[in-house]
Chains A and B, each alone.
Chain A
Amino acid sequence: MGLITGLLTLPIAPIRGVAWVAEQVREEAERQWSDPAVIEAALIDIEAMRESGEIDDDEADIREEELLQRLLAASPEQGQRLDSWEEMDE
């Protein structure tokens, strides 16, 4: 509760300032960009829209592909594994 109260009184307390808030919001937005939970929820929405006919298959495919690439881009290990394989010296 203390944190929330602090944020609400922000305009009055100049110590952290607007720039700090803006930075937090930006970082949060970035985090959500490739958050697997967010991506999963978005994919489930697309599935529902596909089923209801709200979007057609091609459009759904395109959106799914975009989301998948965001997920893979955020996880370089996965991306690396998917693009190529290398033989390790034993």
Chain B
Amino acid sequence: MTVTQNRAPNRYLDRPAPSSLADVINTILDKGLVIDIYIRVSLVGIELLTIDARIVIASVDTYLRFAEAVGRLNLTETQTHGIPELMEDVTNSGAKGKTSGALEGAKDKLTDMLSGDDDEKDEQSSSKQRSGDGKQQSRQQSKES
């Protein structure tokens, strides 16, 4: 996307919106002052018990869906271009013949690909720790004087 003119951004379009119900359930239901004597019961949020099996069910569903979604993508030639060596290996091994030996070979290569280390990933220095261990975290900016 090329910017052809230097325009001051339209401030009115950038203004934040008022809360919608999606926001409200995250704020006024569990954040804010309370008065103890009129609140009999704990206001701790809903605790979700997860059994491994449930995580597995959710994961199986998700993983299969991702595999399907990625398979459905319509990629242009330019998007698959650029990894000539790998592509060559792939198409060569596929073209070797219809014997089960060749197919076995192709499958092994695929598994290797998926379990191998990704060079790009190693180069990225981003932290992999997601925040959110059940509590909210705040960071304070030190004020520079």
Chain A positions within 8 Å of B, measured between CB atoms, are: 3-4, 7-8, 24-25, 27-28, 31, 34-36, 39-40, 43-44, 46-47, 64, 67-68, 71, 74-75, 77-78, 80-81, 85-88, 90
If over half of B's interface residues share one DSSP class (helix, strand or loop), that class is named, otherwise mixed; here it is helix
Q: Quick one: which of A25, A35, A90 contacts B37, CB cutoff 8 A?
A: A90
Interface core residue of B21, B48, B58, B63 (most chain A CB under 10 Å): B21
Q: CB-CB contacts of B43-74 with A at 8 A, as 1s and 0s?
A: 10110100111101111100100000000000
Kindly list chain A residues whose C-beta atoms are within 8 Å of the C-beta of B37: 87-88, 90
Known: A3-B56, A24-B53, A77-B41. A43 touches B48 (CB 8 A): no
A7 to B60, CA, bound (A): 9
B111 at the interface (CB under 8 A from A): no
Chain B positions within 8 Å of A, measured between CB atoms, are: 20-22, 25-26, 29, 37-43, 45-46, 48, 51-54, 56-60, 63
A63 to B36, CA, bound (A): 33
Kindly list chain A residues whose C-beta atoms are within 8 Å of the C-beta of B58: 28
Contact call A3/B52, Cβ cutoff below 8 A: yes
A86 to B37, CA, bound (A): 9
Known: A75-B46, A86-B38, A86-B40. A40 touches B22 (CB 8 A): yes
Contact call B22/A80, Cβ cutoff below 8 A: no
